[in-house]
Amino acid sequence: MPKKVLKIKEIEKIFNIKIKNKDIWLSAVIHKSWLFYHHLTNLPNNEKLEFIGDAILQMIVSLYLYENFKDLDEGKLSLIRANLVNRHRLGEIALKLNLDRIINISPVLDKKGKLTVLGDSLEAIIGALYLDQGEEKAREFIYEHILKDAAEVIKKGEIKDPKTYFQEIIQKKYGILPEYKITEVSGPPHQRKFKVALYLKDVKISEGQGTSKQEAEFDAALKAIEKFMNSN
């Protein structure tokens, strides 16, 4: 059996907790890439806890932004949330917390792959905190390590409309422009509903809806931003 697996004392020190359920934490610290590398099939992995942690993270971040930045509209709040919880940022937070010392991942991953896996695993850790220690402990962790930069992001004015923001990150990374196409218009003239698809090089990335073409485009761009942030 490879070393590391479940380092209880280190986990308890990092998160200032006393573990109640070791099985939850065993799942939280095992990524499937590690199991695949060591050809193991008799241990759990953290995908289900990642699913739970992602939902908890989205909910707590959304509530925090809603309660603290009431002057911002839905689009700006969504942009801020996408920036705060993208995989790359979560991976960097995991590294700062030295979670690579407790999370079992494949040793052959490159830097980008390692950040992505650690970002996913941080969500699993949040899921484990919630299930083993309760909602308040999970909330404290998210406030301390993920939400502390929210006010600074807003203060700096780093918020643009979704179309502009998505276009900038795509141009910078790939040198291409997104294309928006209306796929459906329905409803009477005074209650129009628009559906718009967003494409990159003829590949549909997302679809948005709204009561105007611009609103539908913004919705499609927001969905594309969240998808892009979570995969890079």
The set of catalytic residues is 54, 123
Residues 226 and 218: their CA atoms lie apart, in Å, by: 12
